[in-house]
């Protein structure tokens, strides 16, 4: 029997830790199993061709929100071309019902954690004892008994991709928009085994570690040991953790403060700063602690921080969202990722549908279309707001210039007006070059906001010429000094986006 494990990653630089867990636990079937990874940008017929070139008897496909539609298309092709091949689906997108993408042509859907369940199913298929039902109910894995996947990151993965790792599974909180809230119990892997595996990865050259744990700083024994692991290493390296915003004991703070610039990234899910909205979605919100901890990270560490806000939460008006954004910008110069609320199968968000008139798309990514407070038009505007915010604020390309948009005014109101204006000029949110973005921002500030061209050009030149090799845009050349043309703020950095925002 030939078994292929495959998925469509969101980007080439991503790697599928789930496939490697399955492979690590295939026991005597491992020699007959191979991993083939692709990205959603690959042609689906080409993906099907490459999979079928291996002449597989069983194909296991990882299904996620970002690849659900493409996976449907892939199954359609595989089943028409190779009717005898057994297709098994797994992953979060098929772990909860209702399915909003039609996966009926798959032979089996393995729900929940598949670390050992996939192996057991393959054994039954091979021995002609396969179950009659298509959907196989989830099991909770004993993390002490499963084989870890890290030895199966290849040298190509280590050289070219992020290495995804985890120290725990589950989340103790019950935020209604999040699938992690379904598994309320947090389970930890064996710490000593993890550290040995991470050391082996390090010795092979791994320097990009992205932890997928939802609550990295919940268990301080683990958090301290993992931070110590990286602090003992010589930079450059990159370690990414998702952290709880209100739980930063002094020992944790002291260690975070030791990390050099570019080495540590913390993702903090704020989502809302409105206590009433937080209560609506069962999200703990200790505002004073959150403000205190963000201020500490901002003022006393070199950590790169990624804060999250969500548009469209039940009961939250656009004015409330605007106040959230204004406060976060005042608290921190970090990236602020603006997401649009999604209704995932398995979550309890639907209980708000009638009360707040929540309506969502039934196509991935299942984002909100409108509610009683936000019209479809307003949601569309906020999607564009989010995109332009990412291009101009989060990118760090305009770190010094962007503040000219609001000065002493409301950040949200000022950027909202700019977002409306820039969309009117471009009728697009994608494929806008950096030079065109620069010209649009310069034009808006000088013509719409009536600011002096010389005053705008100085911070813009400082922004644009931080990276070596950039050419001064033609509209800024009259303002450029000779010594700025090849200015290089940073000779090297592990993460360009971090360097831009530093």
pLDDT in tens, 353-387: 999 999 999 999 999 999 999 999 999 999 999 99
pLDDT greater than 60 at residue 480? yes
Residues 23, 89 within the same domain: yes
Q: Do 407 and 306 share a structural domain?
A: no
Q: What is the CATH number of the domain that holds 324?
A: 3.80.30.20
Q: What is the DSSP secondary-structure string of 387-440? A: HHHIIIIIT-TTTTTGGGGTTTS-HHHHHHHHHHHHHHHHS-SSS--HHHHHHH
Going by DSSP bridges, is the β-strand pair 33-39/135-136 parallel, antiparallel, or unpaired? unpaired
* 420 shares a domain with 315: no
Q: In this structure, is residue 143 part of a structural domain?
A: no
Which of 282, 298, 329 finishes a domain?
329
Residue 55 lies in a domain: yes
Residue 243 has pLDDT above 60, yes or no: yes
Residue 171 in any domain: the answer is yes
pTM (2 d.p.): 0.92
* CA 252 to the chain's CA centroid: 24
Q: What is the pLDDT of residues 59-77, one digit of tens each?
A: 999 999 999 999 999 999 9
Instruction: Write out pLDDT tens, residues 306-337.
Output: 999 999 999 999 999 999 999 999 999 999 99
115 and 177: one domain?
no
495 band by pLDDT with thresholds 50, 70 and 90: low
Kindly state whether residues 80 and 187 are assigned to the same domain. Answer: no
Q: Cβ contacts of residue 417 below 8 Å, gap of 6+? A: none
Q: What is the pLDDT of residues 380-404, one digit of tens each?
A: 999 999 999 999 999 999 999 999 9
**Same domain membership, residue 175 and residue 116:** no
Q: Is residue 185 part of a domain?
A: yes
* Strand partners of residue 8: 38
Q: Which residues contact 421 (CB under 8 A, 6 or more apart)?
A: 444, 448
105 and 251, same domain (yes or no): no
**Which of 329, 352, 385 delimits the end of a domain?**
329
pLDDT at 493 > cutoff 50: no
In terms of Cβ atoms closer than 10 Å to its own Cβ (0-12, 13-18, 19+), residue 246 is: middle
Q: pLDDT tens, 429-471? A: 999 999 999 999 999 999 999 999 999 999 999 999 887 678 8
Cis ω before 366 (30° cut-off from 0): no
Is residue 10 included in any domain, yes or no?
Answer: yes
Q: Which of 118, 136, 154 corresponds to the end of one domain?
A: 136
In a domain, 405, yes or no: yes
DSSP secondary structure code for residue 203 in this structure = H
299 is a domain residue: yes
Backbone angles phi, psi at 470, to 5 degrees: -70, 145
**233 and 317 both lie in a single domain:** yes
pLDDT per residue over 167-223, tens digit each?
999 888 888 888 877 766 889 999 999 999 999 999 999 999 999 998 888 889 999
Distance CA 35, CA 43 (A): 18
Q: Is 337 helix (H, G, I), strand (E, B) or coil?
A: strand
Q: How far apart are CA 63 and CA 70, in angstroms?
A: 9
Q: Which tokens is 126 given?
A: 């091979």
Q: How far is CA 328 from CA 33, 175, 214, in A?
A: 48, 20, 21
CATH number reported for the structural domain that contains residue 119 in this entry: 3.40.50.280
Helices marked H in 34-85: 44-52, 68-81
Pairing of strands 168-169, 187-188: antiparallel
Residues 126 and 168 in one domain: no
The answer on 125 and 166 residing in a single domain is no
91, 215: one domain: no
Domain membership flag for residue 351 = no
Domain count, the chain: 3
State the residue range of the domain holding 432. 400-502
Look up tokens 């050992």; give the residue: 116
| Mean pLDDT for the stretch of residues 253-279 | 95
User: CA–CA separation, 476 vs 405, rounded Å?
Assistant: 18
Residues 208 and 278 in one domain: yes
Closest to 93 in 3D by CA, of 129, 64, 134, 70: 64
Q: Is the pLDDT at 97 greater than 50, yes or no?
A: yes
Q: What is the DSSP letter of 448?
A: I
Residue in the structure block whose two tokens are 């954004």: 325
């Amino acid at each position: 029997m030939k078994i292929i494990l495959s998925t469509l990653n969101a980007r080439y630089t991503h790697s599928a830790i789930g496939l490697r867990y399955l492979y690590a636990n295939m026991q005597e079937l491992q020699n007959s199993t191979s991993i083939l990874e692709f990205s959603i940008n690959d042609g689906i017929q080409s993906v099907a061709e490459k999979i079928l070139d291996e002449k597989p008897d069983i194909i296991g496909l990882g299904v996620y929100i970002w690849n659900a539609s493409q996976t449907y298309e892939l199954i359609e092709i595989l089943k028409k071309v190779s009717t005898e091949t057994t297709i098994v689906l797994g992953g979060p997108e098929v772990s909860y019902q209702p399915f909003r993408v039609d996966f009926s042509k798959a032979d089996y859907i393995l729900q929940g954690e598949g670390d050992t369940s996939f192996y057991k199913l393959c054994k039954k298929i091979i021995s002609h004892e396969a179950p009659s039902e298509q959907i196989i109910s989830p099991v909770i894995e004993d993390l002490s008994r499963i084989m870890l996947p890290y030895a199966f990151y290849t040298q190509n993965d280590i050289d070219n991709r992020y290495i995804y790792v985890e120290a725990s599974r589950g989340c103790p909180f019950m935020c209604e928009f999040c699938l992690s809230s379904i598994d309320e119990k947090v389970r930890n892997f064996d710490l000593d085994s993890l550290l040995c595996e991470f050391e082996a990865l390090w010795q092979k050259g791994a320097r990009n570690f992205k932890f997928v744990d939802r609550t990295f700083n919940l268990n301080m024994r683990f958090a301290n040991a993992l931070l110590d692991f990286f602090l003992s290493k010589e930079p450059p390296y990159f370690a990414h953790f998702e952290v709880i915003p209100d739980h930063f004991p002094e020992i944790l703070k002291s260690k975070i403060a030791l990390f050099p610039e570019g080495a540590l990234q913390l993702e903090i899910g704020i989502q809302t700063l409105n206590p009433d909205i937080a209560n609506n979605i069962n999200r703990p919100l200790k505002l004073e602690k959150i403000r205190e901890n963000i201020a500490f990270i901002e003022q006393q560490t070199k950590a790169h921080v990624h804060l999250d806000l969500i548009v469209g939460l039940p009961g939250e008006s656009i004015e409330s969202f605007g106040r959230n954004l204004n406060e976060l910008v005042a608290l921190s110069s970090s990236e602020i990722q603006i997401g649009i609320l999604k209704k995932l199968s398995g979550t309890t968000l639907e209980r708000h549908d009638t009360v707040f008139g929540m309506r969502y798309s039934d196509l991935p990514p299942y984002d909100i279309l409108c509610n009683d407070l936000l019209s479809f038009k307003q949601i569309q505007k906020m999607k564009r707001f989010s995109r332009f915010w990412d291009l101009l604020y989060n990118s760090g390309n305009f770190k010094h210039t962007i503040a000219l948009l609001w000065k002493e005014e409301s950040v949200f109101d000022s950027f909202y007006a700019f977002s409306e204006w820039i969309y009117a000029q471009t009728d697009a949110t994608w494929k806008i070059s950096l030079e065109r973005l620069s010209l649009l921002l310069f034009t808006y500030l000088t013509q719409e906001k009536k600011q002096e061209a010389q005053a705008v050009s100085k911070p813009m030149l400082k922004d644009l010429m931080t990276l070596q090799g950039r050419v001064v845009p033609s509209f800024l050349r009259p303002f450029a000094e000779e010594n700025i043309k090849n200015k290089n703020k940073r000779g090297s950095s592990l993460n360009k986006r971090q360097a831009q925002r530093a």
